[in-house]
Structure 1
Amino acid sequence: MALRDSFGRVATDLRISLTDRCNLRCTYCMPADGLAWLPGAEMLTDAEVVRLARIAVTRLGVNEIRLTGGEPTVRPGLVDLVAQLAMLRPRVQLSMTTNGTSLARFAAALRVAGLDRVNVSLDTLRADRYLAMTHRDRLADVCAGLAAAATAGLAPVKVNAVLLRDVNDDEAPSLLRWCLERGYALRFIEQMPLDPQHSWDRGVMVTGAEILARLRSEFTVTALPGRGSAPAELFAVDDGPGTVGVIGSVTAPFCAACDRVRLTADGQLRSCLFADTETNLRTPMRAGADDADLAHLWAAAVRGKRAGHGVNGPDFAQPSRPMSAIGG
């Protein structure tokens, strides 16, 4: 059974949020004093995460799993959970999105457990800006974590950067140069309306076109073909081999090629990052539903996926959950 929607798209990439908690307070993601976290009893256990992942892989055709949060490294037992997911057959591509603050401690063990690669969030190379943007003085830890990931073989090491107007948008060229020098693959992401305060301002968002203009002030940046279902449009830098990616989620949506589906930390299935509905898998699973029942619920949820996220439509409304509770 494939996870096919009514528009012919097939979901093969599962994003699993392991927690809504985070040890940073990025200004575009959550308030400085944090959020009300999900109650522990509502969170999926390790066994439940593995069971749902196994259903996705063996019954529904999922071949890639990305672990997200919140910040996944704050979940106890992460390394063992990764090891269990890496044992699923057929073997999936297993990656993790992290803020990198604890990666120096975990990178080697995660690689041994079976993690293939990491995406690390890093929006600035200036310690003062990092503190202002995250409310934590952890830039040195993130840089150490990136180096540890590369040493451990979690390749390619990808860096995700969000630029905010008049905050860090002048750093586009310096971020790219820094990543190229270290062999990291940089991806710029347009800021999306997923903040809990619902204060997203299109005027503050730095567009993909603006990002490319900033990069072209110092580099030759040439579009590469063959994007497929990848969210990032790739560009060769100075004729290669280095590349940079731009994810224009707002100004250049890639919904028509989307192959992703998301499972929240409390067991809710979301067919789109911006979905206004969820399918509860936790409750029927705990009530005794068998694997076939859960697979049918999953497939039905994906069949109802909308054609696009609707961010640019006149009736768009932000999801009730913020990004930290959905999982990227």
Structure 2
Amino acid sequence: MDRLIDGFGRRFRYLRLSVTEVCNFRCTYCLPDGYRKTAGPAFLGVDEIGALVSTFQRLGIEKVRLTGGEPTVRKDIGQIIARVAEVPGIAKVAMTTNGWNLHRHVADWRAAGLTNLNVSIDTLDRDGFTRLTGHDRLHQVVAGLDQALAIGVPTVKVNAVLLRDSLENGFAEFAEFVRRRPVAVRFIELMRTADNAAYFTDQHVSGERLKTWLGQEGWSPRPRASDDGPETEYEHPDFAGRIGLIAPYGAGFCDGCNRLRVTAQGLLRLCLFGQGGVNLRDLLTGEAEASNLLAARIAQALTGKASGHELARGQAGDTRNLAQFGG
């Protein structure tokens, strides 16, 4: 069954599932004052996640990414990975993490079924990393990434938010980082949210700066896979890894949207920078009838998906910060 097609002909095979809003880092562009608990329902449990993913798979989803917050603050994250991986038809189980305990647990997560790993490393400068995240853990994070490569996690990528303060020398340093590592480093344009207006004004840099640098250094774009996110990746014959760009402010960014989002409380978000969401949680019982109703609710919700976000007009919807819905 393949029913996840919106009114603009876009087909959705990729689900980003937030499993928590909690994060233990204090990144300057997201949670500079740290996570602060707000009133609301508990986060989805393992059984609810299993029921959710099973129904989405029936509708054509093939790839699931576990996000947060920081998903690994959940003690049952290994169980969650295993539950998603055991759903027939889910070909890729991905996770995005800040890497704080990656070196201790990545082997267990791989054994549970993890196939794709994204690690957030915004700078390779130790002092800069500490200033950005509030933690002096760059060495441990990189060690965890290298361990993931060593044990054979099929796809390992690095996410780096493009910031004015870390721009100088940053591209060249990350290029050296991937010279012998088969890793894709994707620079992500800083996005405006409700809580970071002043920071955005001070730190936003256009992705065109990276494109210009890549062209000057002999990097060339590579084709996208059908379940890739919105990045454009570049390769170079002298480097084992790749460098990519996610540029949400670029023209046509939403034209090839292939992802849906579900929050940690079970709300379907049709756009990261939209408003509200469609409640799915009441139907996550695992029963056949509930699954059929859930599938119908999801398909109906897609009829209301907009053609794109309104970031260029300074409208971030009700997104306070990226930890809220998983980025």
Q: Which residue does 1:231 correspond to in 2?
A: 230
Q: 1:239 to 1:125 in 2, by over 3 A?
A: closer
State the Cα distance separating 1:14 from its structure 2 match. 0.3
CA RMSD in angstroms, aligned pairs only: 2.3
Contact 1:190 1:247 in 2 (8 A): yes
Could you tell me which runs of 5 or more consecutive residues in structure 1 were left unpaired when the two chains were aligned.
none
Residue 22 (str. 1) matches residue 23 (str. 2) = yes
Q: Residue 291 of structure 1 aligns to which amino acid in structure 2? A: S
> SS of the residue aligned with 1:325?
helix
Q: 1:239 to 1:170 in 2, by over 3 A?
A: closer
Q: Which residue does 2:272 correspond to in 1?
A: 273
Q: Which residue does 2:141 correspond to in 1?
A: 142
Q: Which residue does 2:50 correspond to in 1?
A: 50
Q: Which residue does 2:7 correspond to in 1?
A: 6
Contact 1:63 1:92 in 2 (8 A): yes
Contact 1:44 1:266 in 2 (8 A): yes
TM-score (normalised: structure 2): 0.91
Q: Which residue does 1:295 correspond to in 2?
A: 295
> SS of the residue aligned with 2:271?
coil
Q: Which residue does 1:156 correspond to in 2?
A: 155
Q: Which residue does 2:112 correspond to in 1?
A: 113
Q: Which residue does 2:248 correspond to in 1?
A: 249
Q: Which residue does 1:32 correspond to in 2?
A: 33
Contact 2:54 2:87 in 1 (8 A): yes
CA distance in 1, matches of 2:8, 2:90: 28
Q: Residue 17 of structure 2 aligns to which amino acid in structure 1? A: I
Q: Which residue does 1:221 correspond to in 2?
A: 219
Q: Counterparts of 1:83-102 in structure 2 under 5 Å?
A: 83-102=82-101
CA distance in 2, matches of 1:99, 1:85: 21
> SS of the residue aligned with 2:78?
helix
> SS of the residue aligned with 2:153?
coil
CA distance in 2, matches of 1:87, 1:116: 13
TM-score (normalised: structure 1): 0.91
Q: Which residue does 2:261 correspond to in 1?
A: 262
CA distance in 1, matches of 2:78, 2:114: 9
> SS of the residue aligned with 1:244?
strand
State the Cα distance separating 1:173 from its structure 2 match. 1.2
State the Cα distance separating 1:240 from its structure 2 match. 5.8
Contact 2:24 2:34 in 1 (8 A): no
> SS of the residue aligned with 2:261?
strand
Superimposed CA distance per residue, residues 70-127 of structure 1 (whole angstroms, 9 cap, x where no aligned partner)? 0111011111221111110123311111111111111101111111020111011111
CA distance in 2, matches of 1:166, 1:200: 11
Q: Residue 184 of structure 2 aligns to which amino acid in structure 1? A: A
CA distance in 1, matches of 2:230, 2:196: 26
Q: Which residue does 2:69 correspond to in 1?
A: 70
Q: 1:182 to 1:317 in 2, by over 3 A?
A: closer
Q: Identity of paired residues, percent?
A: 37
Q: Which residue does 2:193 correspond to in 1?
A: 194
Could you tell me which runs of 5 or more consecutive residues in structure 2 were left unpaired when the two chains were aligned.
none
CA distance in 2, matches of 1:203, 1:273: 22
Residue 128 (str. 1) matches residue 127 (str. 2) = yes
